[in-house]
Amino acid sequence: MATRTKRPRGLDYDPELACRHLRGAEPRLDELIGRAGAFTLRPVHTQSLFAALAESIVHQQLSGSAAATILGRVVALFHPKRFPGPGDILETPPERLRGAGLSTAKTAALRDLAARTLDGTVPSISLVRRMDDDALIERLTAVRGIGRWTVEMLLMFRLGRPDVLPVGDLGVRKGYARTFRTRGLPAPEAMRRRAERWRPYRSVASWYLWRALEL
């Protein structure tokens, strides 16, 4: 009798099953997975979509340490709360947020995120669980400062979705070029066509393409 593997917390799929599928569907991925080893992506717990997206906005175009410092200063404005809610952000004068280190553009984006959370554009986590990837991308990219790539990273690293292919990600494109030995970076449409055979585990394939750059 076959034993069932335990699905890691936060993932919407079984990574062992995903790796078996990819190795059977794609010889180059079979080789890559064999070299890279076990799939270790584990989603970061997301208490609210607002908090996750607020962190993403702060981190844009900054090093991890610089973004963490600024985020810490913003959160400190609302002590003793662990993290401000959308109402807190809207009630705070923009100059106070800028004083914590946010740029004018990021302050505007954070306030738009707060407003769209309160008006329901940004759904609750419970609703997100019932939404497909494309619907969520469409809803969240209506927020100022939130692009498709940001939502794709949320889907993969916060929500544990199995079938995300971030063709606009430079690391994934470089990993693809190295794995499939293309001349230059691949076109997004060429990646999508090839990745049809990876469904429904394109998130796992993408993670391994990132790993290809470390080998």
| 119-142 per-position pLDDT tens digit | 999 998 889 989 999 999 999 999
Alpha-carbon torsion, ordered 79, 85, 88, 89, to 10 deg: 110
Residue recorded with tokens 């979509």? 49
Encoding tokens for residue 135?
Answer: 């619907």
CA distance 155 to 43: 9
CA distance 205 to 19: 8
In Å, how far are 23, 109, 199 from 103, measured between CA atoms? Answer: 45, 10, 40
CA distance 49 to 44: 12
Residue recorded with tokens 């970076």? 185
Q: What is the rounded average pLDDT for all residues in the chain? A: 93
Residue recorded with tokens 């959370």? 117
Work out the percent of the chain whose per-residue pLDDT is above 70.
97
Taking residues 133-152, report their average pLDDT.
95
For 64-84, b/e burial (b = at least 16 CB within 10 A) is eeebeebbeebbeeeeeeeeb
How confident is the model over 157-184, as pLDDT tens digits? 999 999 999 999 999 999 999 999 999 9
CA distance 4 to 141: 38
Q: Which active-site residues does the annotation give?
A: 169
CB < 8 Å & 24+ apart, contacts of 192-200 = 192/165, 192/167, 195/165, 197/25, 197/26, 198/21, 198/22, 198/25, 198/26, 198/29, 198/165, 199/163, 200/13, 200/162, 200/163
Position 2 scores a pLDDT of 42
Encoding tokens for residue 28?
Answer: 């180059």
Position 64 scores a pLDDT of 85
Encoding tokens for residue 84?
Answer: 């401000």
Q: Name all domains of the chain by residue range, CATH numbers in brackets.
A: 15-43+163-212 (1.10.1670.40), 49-157 (1.10.340.30)
